[in-house]
Amino acid sequence: MNAAPILRGLAALRAAVAGWRRAGETVAVVPTMGALHEGHLSLVRAARQGADRVVVTIFVNPRQFNNPEDLANYPRTEGRDAELLAPLAVDAVFVPDVEDVYPQGFSTTVSVEGVSAGLCGAHRPGHFDGVATVVAKLFLMTGADRAYFGEKDYQQLLVVRRLARDLNIPIAVIGCPTVREGDGLALSSRNMRLSAAERAIAPALPQAMGRVAAALAAGGALAPALEAARAEVVAAGYASVEYLELRAADDLRPLTAPGVPARLLAAAWLGPVRLIDNIAIPPRGA
């Protein structure tokens, strides 16, 4: 089994992509921050189906961490990441240095309004500017035709779609379903930081969200369902629920009832770890 070549410099990446282009091949990119898990691998498999060549990028982007402790503790597992990618026939793994992505004097920020407001945007100041800036750069550096993102980071997915449209970057942004453990916990690189006791508590969040979905499907009102879910999550052992909200699936405008395709989105703290999740809520009567 041949491991994918690891490219650390932009010149090497550009040369590889130019060769594929000359051969008339299409290119997909899967942007990641490493600490890969089955969720990322599902994106790589989707990319494999969608284009002739697949580039996975691994870059822990300092600009999207509003909390220095979170950046310092973010898992870095490059050797294992390479092993996980080896069987997936990836064509290149782009692992740039921070200085290459943000050279001395770097002074441009991509800021997406609207969909980045509220939810994670309200609780992580600067986070989506950091995401939008690095993703715009990764799109331009790879010149890919298609990009794959997990629906787990639903707000991020909409921010990225918007930036590609607004900046006329000719790339199709494709969202892929969240991958979950058997007990319902959404896969996340941050799950690695949970203790065994915290890991046992963690599924309480998706379970409570599922109960909100069931209550709404049965015609129940939103506010009491959200209140019960918050209480349930804290009673299970979470320290706090940062947000639990129903938003329109297309532009994340706040909703008071599921009249249109919607998303229930949550962030909650379990010990030192902040977990996020979201599920689709069909319009009432659908």
Q: Which residues bind ligand PAF (CB under 6 A)?
A: 31-33, 61, 64, 131, 134-135, 153, 156
Judge whether 1 is annotated as a binding position: no
Judge whether 275 is annotated as a binding position: no
Q: What single letter denotes the amino acid at residue 107?
A: S
Q: What residues contact residue 29 under an 8 Å CB cut-off, 6+ apart?
A: 47, 54, 55, 56, 57, 138, 139, 142, 144, 146, 147, 148, 171
Q: Which is nearer to ligand PAF, 176 or 226 (CB)?
A: 176
Judge whether 19 is annotated as a binding position: no
Shortest reach from residue 276's CB to ligand PAF, in Å:
11
Q: Which is nearer to ligand PAF, 143 or 150 (CB)?
A: 150
> Token digits for 156?
């991020």
SS3 at position 88: helix
> Token digits for 196?
């065994």
Judge whether 187 is annotated as a binding position: yes
Shortest reach from residue 126's CB to ligand PAF, in Å:
13
Q: What single letter denotes the amino acid at residue 193?
A: R
Q: Which is nearer to ligand PAF, 92 or 213 (CB)?
A: 92
Shortest reach from residue 236's CB to ligand PAF, in Å:
26
Judge whether 188 is annotated as a binding position: yes
Count of Cβ atoms closer than 10 Å to residue 200 Cβ? 13
Which phi and psi (to 5°) does residue 28 adopt? -115, 145
Judge whether 185 is annotated as a binding position: no
SS3 at position 280: strand
Shortest reach from residue 14's CB to ligand PAF, in Å:
20
Q: Is 40 a catalytic residue?
A: yes
Q: How buried is 238 (Cβ within 10 angstroms: 0-12 exposed, 13-18 middle, 19+ buried)?
A: buried
d(CA 22, CA 153): 34
Among residues 27, 28, 40, 154, which one is catalytic?
A: 40
Q: Which is nearer to ligand PAF, 150 or 258 (CB)?
A: 150
Type and span of the H or E element at 147: strand 146-150
Shortest reach from residue 285's CB to ligand PAF, in Å:
34
Binding site residue list for (R)-pantoate: 64, 156
Q: Which residues are annotated as a binding site for beta-alanine?
A: 64
Q: Binding site membership: which residues?
A: 33-40, 64, 150-153, 156, 179, 187-190
The set of catalytic residues is 40
